[in-house]
Amino acid sequence: MTAQNPSSAAPSFPSATILGYPRIGRRRELKKAVEAYWAGASTAAELQAAAEQIQAATLARLTGLGLTERSSVPGTFSLYDQVLDTAVALGAVPARFGALHDADGTLGVDAYFTLARGNAEQQPLEMTKWFDSNYHYLVPEIGPETSFSLSSERVVEDFAFAKAQGTLTRPYLVGPVTFLLLSKASDEAPADFAPLSRLDDVLPVYAELLEKLAAAGAEWVQLDEPALVADLDTPALEVSDAVERAYAALTAPAARPQILLSAPYGGLGAQSAAVAATGVEAVALDLFKGALPSDAELAGFAGKTLVAGVVDGHNIWRNDLAASAAKLDALRAAGAEHGFAVAVSTSTSTIHVPHDVEEETQLDAGLRSWLAFADQKVREVATLAAYLADPASAQAALDEATRVIASRAQAPGVRRPEVRERTGALTAADFSRSDYAVRAAAQDAVLNLPPLPTTTIGSFPQTADVRGARARLNRGAIDAAEYERLMKDEIKRVVDLQEELGFDVLVHGEPERNDMVQYFAENLDGFDVTVHGWVQSYGSRCTRPSILWGDVSRAAGPSILWGDASTGAPITVPWAAYAQSLTEKPLKGMLTGPVTILAWSFVRDDQPLAETANQVALALRDEITDLEDAGIKIIQVDEPALRELLPLRRADQAAYLDWSVKSFRLATAGARDATQVHTHLCYSEFGVIIDAIDGLDADVTSIEAARSRMEVVNDLEAHGFGRGVGPGVYDIHSPRVPSQAEVEELLETAVKHVPARQLWVNPDCGLKTRGYAETEASLRNLVEAAKVARAAL
Ligand code: GLN
Ligand code: ZN
């Protein structure tokens, strides 16, 4: 395929852009609007009006920040998810939902939300992580039976709306190759079916949509192809072939907008040649995470515009403008030689960062000056585009960024000698415990547990009362003493309930935690939290990641409520000790692991993650010692995020698994032999990480298994997993109460594959999102089923 010659009249690509902008709204207006609609408190017209208001505000904001050229504002608004938007545009409704199309062949807003949220009969589309971000998309289900037809023109309507407001946007769609690679086979599909085999069937629908966009006046469209930067199961050659076929078809028609193919989240690697060979007019490369392409690779982009993603869209640090300018200089020189133009962009959509640093007035001014949220990133790309046009005009801004970054390196708290001495003095011995057999014997002697011990994963339902008490504390309506009393009441209730139900190992229920990461961030030095820094996690759900900016250790007391210790006050000990004082049974101390704390925060970019992880690990290690001293005999360190930080490229995975496993071991290896260390992971698709999970060397590992009907025990058996393991027997993701017989059945399956002396009985995950009624009933069935299974051993 040779590049089409865009006619000389074709508008060139704007000099500065971003690949996407947060759509939740500065005050989470979208969340409020869709949740009101779901609750029946507003009409479809009101929802549409709210969506238009958010889009209008975004247009005004982005043009105000400097995206004034045509097609520089990306049309990335979505009511829920961009993958769902594309699926709905293509009409890809799984057969299991029956007929969702309206009589005129379109999928309306209710059909859209049915796919996202399910209905009385059908589970929603599955949700999974979008590349290595914390954003979750809905997984389309594609089979040989899926019929594709243009079923929603929302992207055209949004374009027309923006145009009427005076802005010519660049509409966005998930590209066809990525769309199919991210899809899963439908229930109807044969075992060997690959969604990518339907490529030729989706292309006409894409082409039809592009034609409509052109007719509406769109000059450029963005087709997002992040799947090209990841090593997926599909062989690279098949992916290249799909790229060639897809873009040959999409660039062939005369009536179409020019195409920007974006490839965020990493380097194109082996797909670079295939992308270069397409006839698309522009390619956006992630030059923040991905390396600058080689000269030979760059030569392939002749005739196109190379959109240089030099400003990180995925983290919150102010850009090193001088370093970015140096990359742009290199590209400009290569472009002059090989005949391609250069434009400036973010490396990814800015959907991963909050709107605006200026909102965070409570943050230290120094820290604030180091940060760039979405709005600041827009200014950065505009500055760098100005640099490309006239280097001298941007010099002052480059110098200012250089100065701020240098001041950050020198700022108090960023590098603390006492923290660095500790990490610098670590030896191999700090990363390992005694042999498992020795530990197991010591633990058995202390704990005296029955076979198939029962426990939970940590949190109990966070009631409105509990959340209300925290809100009142934050408002100053109650004092710390009153809050402590309320939390202790709740802990007592939870402990009493577990006693009554007959659990063997108890938990305190985590009522005092707003979030399993933020709670620790608030009690560790080196972190700060934001007030308005919400980031979309999925649909209307947002998280507010903490900012890890400095060297980490436990903060000096008082940590939230107590701790007159002069340094490194305990974070969880008083709650755990109080809970343990209420029962003779062992009570698990509950900590969040270093990898998960990193994964769910914005992490400093001035040192390797491994180093930061070790600092967090040492803080947790101190906490474990204090928990032991307070009489806690079992300590769980949750690492649900271990798998999600797994690099997209296979070549990078071993190094990641090495440091992440080591950080867990560093956190836990100070535990005494007799202290039983547990870990919890939220999933059971172990794949390549099963060795790593084994490498954590936890005495007991709890995992999700109920939804997959205990499939995981086959993997555990095949792997020869030799330590304690608790495959979940109660799916906590829905309010459904599992019957005792159901739990018994799962346990029967488990004991066939895993030696009974290794097995634990527990739910899939924590219970904080559940209500008490269903939780109590489910846990009762779980404990009774364990008794039956125990008697049958
Ligand atoms: N201990 C945590 C809880 O029970 C674990 C949550 C998680 O794995 N995401 O809530
Ligand atoms: Zn979990």
How is 541-580 classified by DSSP, letter by letter?
A: EEE---EEEEEEEEPPSPBTTB---SSS--SSHHHHHHHH
| Tokens linked to 288 | 């923040």
Can you tell me which atom of ligand 1 is nearest the CA of 768?
A: 10
Nearest protein Cα to ligand 1, atom 1:
458
Q: Is the CB of 680 under 6 A from ligand 1?
A: yes
Terminal Cα distance for the chain, rounded: 66
Residue from 230, 203, 228, 202 nearest 140 by CA: 202
| Tokens linked to 490 | 């709740």
- pLDDT, residue 733, reads 84
Q: Is the CB of 770 under 6 A from ligand 1?
A: no
Nearest protein Cα to ligand 1, atom 3:
766
Which residues, 6+ apart, have CB-to-CB distance to 773 below 8 Å? none
Per the listing, tokens 């699926």 go with 87
Sign of the torsion formed by the C-alpha atoms of 199, 204, 205 and 211: positive
Phi, psi of 547 (to 5 degrees): -110, 115
DSSP 292: P
Residue of 591, 765, 767, 779 to test ligand 1 pocket, by largest number of atoms within 8 Å of CB: 765
| Tokens linked to 718 | 């095949």
> Which long-range contacts (C-beta less than 8 Å, at least 24 apart) are formed by 433-442?
433/668, 433/669, 433/671, 433/673, 433/677, 433/697, 434/673, 436/697, 436/699, 436/722, 436/723, 438/673, 439/673, 439/674, 439/676, 439/699, 440/699, 440/723, 442/672, 442/673, 442/674
| Tokens linked to 590 | 């509950």
Ligand 1 geometric centre to CA of 117 (Å)? 23
pLDDT tens for residues 314-336?
999 999 999 999 999 999 999 99
Q: What share of the chain is helix, strand, coil (3-state, %, to 5)?
A: 45, 15, 40
pLDDT tens for residues 103-159?
999 999 999 999 999 998 888 999 889 999 999 999 999 999 999 999 999 999 999
Q: Is the CB of 385 under 6 A from ligand 1?
A: no
Cα–Cα distance measured from residue 310 to residue 299, given in angstroms and rounded to the nearest whole number: 19
- pLDDT, residue 557, reads 63
Strand partners, 592: 638
* 401 close to 384: Cβ distance less than 8 angstroms: no
* 212 close to 255: Cβ distance less than 8 angstroms: no
Q: Count CA within 13 A, CB hemisphere, residue 125.
A: 33
* 284 close to 19: Cβ distance less than 8 angstroms: yes
Q: Which amino acid makes up residue 129?
A: K
- pLDDT, residue 686, reads 77
> Considering the chain, what is the average pLDDT of its residues?
95
Ligand 2 geometric centre to CA of 460 (Å)? 13
* 219 close to 120: Cβ distance less than 8 angstroms: no
Q: Is the CB of 508 under 6 A from ligand 1?
A: no
Ligand number nearest CA of 515 is 1
Q: Is the CB of 732 under 6 A from ligand 1?
A: no
pLDDT score of 561 more than 60 = no
Average pLDDT estimate for 663-681:
98
Cα–Cα distance measured from residue 423 to residue 420, given in angstroms and rounded to the nearest whole number: 5
pLDDT tens for residues 8-19?
578 999 999 999
Q: Is the CB of 768 under 6 A from ligand 1?
A: yes
Q: What would you report as the CA-atom Rg of the chain, rounded to the nearest whole angstrom?
A: 27
| Tokens linked to 458 | 């940590």
Report how far apart, in Å, the C-alpha atoms of 39 and of each of 43, 774, 784 are.
Answer: 10, 22, 37
Residue of 510, 515, 684 to test ligand 1 pocket, by largest number of atoms within 8 Å of CB: 510
Q: Is the CB of 488 under 6 A from ligand 1?
A: no
Strand partners, 536: 542
Per the listing, tokens 């930080």 go with 645
Where does residue 257 fall: left (phi above 0), alpha (psi -120 to 50 degrees), or beta otherwise? beta
- Cβ of 724: how many Cβ atoms within 10 Å? 23
Average pLDDT estimate for 225-232:
97
Per the listing, tokens 């027309």 go with 160
pLDDT tens for residues 426-479?
999 999 999 999 999 999 999 999 999 999 999 999 999 999 999 999 999 999
| Tokens linked to 691 | 């060795």
- Is 733 labeled as catalytic in the residue annotation? yes
- Which position among 101, 352, 719, 733 bears the catalytic label? 733
Average pLDDT estimate for 365-387:
98
- pLDDT, residue 1, reads 37
Can you tell me which atom of ligand 1 is nearest the CA of 513?
A: 10
Ligand 2 geometric centre to CA of 211 (Å)? 46
Can you tell me which atom of ligand 1 is nearest the CA of 456?
A: 4
Q: Is the CB of 638 under 6 A from ligand 1?
A: yes
pLDDT score of 512 more than 60 = yes
**% the chain with pLDDT above 90:** 93
Bond preceding residue 450 cis, omega within 30 of 0:
no
* 536 close to 351: Cβ distance less than 8 angstroms: yes
Ligand 2 geometric centre to CA of 670 (Å)? 24
The total number of residues shown for the chain amounts to 793
| Tokens linked to 27 | 């005050």
pLDDT tens for residues 728-753?
999 998 889 999 999 999 999 999 99
Ligand number nearest CA of 706 is 2
The pairing of beta strand 524-528 with beta strand 547-554: antiparallel
Nearest protein Cα to ligand 1, atom 9:
640
The ipTM value here is 0.99
Ligand number nearest CA of 510 is 1
Residue of 129, 508, 513, 516 to test ligand 1 pocket, by largest number of atoms within 8 Å of CB: 516
Name the burial class of residue 123, with classes exposed (0-12), middle (13-18) and buried (19+) by CB atoms within 10 angstroms of its CB: exposed
Ligand 1 geometric centre to CA of 762 (Å)? 12
pLDDT score of 45 more than 70 = yes
Cα–Cα distance measured from residue 591 to residue 624, given in angstroms and rounded to the nearest whole number: 9
* 33 close to 47: Cβ distance less than 8 angstroms: yes
- pLDDT, residue 555, reads 86
- pLDDT, residue 754, reads 96
Concatenated DSSP letters of 302-345 = TTSEEEEEEE-SSS-BPP-HHHHHHHHHHHHHHHHHHT-EEEEE
Ligand 1 geometric centre to CA of 699 (Å)? 18
Q: Is the CB of 459 under 6 A from ligand 1?
A: yes
pLDDT score of 3 more than 90 = no
Average pLDDT estimate for 76-80:
98
User: What torsion, rounded to 10 degrees, do the Cα atoms 716, 132, 226, 113 define?
Assistant: 90
Cα–Cα distance measured from residue 5 to residue 304, given in angstroms and rounded to the nearest whole number: 10
Q: Is the CB of 494 under 6 A from ligand 1?
A: no
* 227 close to 239: Cβ distance less than 8 angstroms: yes
Ligand 1 geometric centre to CA of 408 (Å)? 34
Q: Is the CB of 205 under 6 A from ligand 1?
A: no
Ligand number nearest CA of 767 is 1
Ligand number nearest CA of 514 is 1
Q: Is the CB of 132 under 6 A from ligand 1?
A: no
Q: Which amino acid makes up residue 313?
A: G
Q: Is the CB of 350 under 6 A from ligand 1?
A: no
Ligand 1 geometric centre to CA of 461 (Å)? 11
Concatenated DSSP letters of 75-143 = E---SS-HHHHHHHHHT---GGG---S-TTS---HHHHHHHHH--SS-PPPPEEE-TTSS-EEE--EE-
* Confidence grade of residue 707 (pLDDT, cut at 50, 70, 90): confident
| Tokens linked to 502 | 């007959």
* 100 close to 93: Cβ distance less than 8 angstroms: yes
pLDDT score of 5 more than 60 = no
pLDDT score of 565 more than 50 = no
Q: Which amino acid makes up residue 517?
A: V
* 650 close to 600: Cβ distance less than 8 angstroms: no
* 21 close to 346: Cβ distance less than 8 angstroms: no
**% the chain with pLDDT above 70:** 98
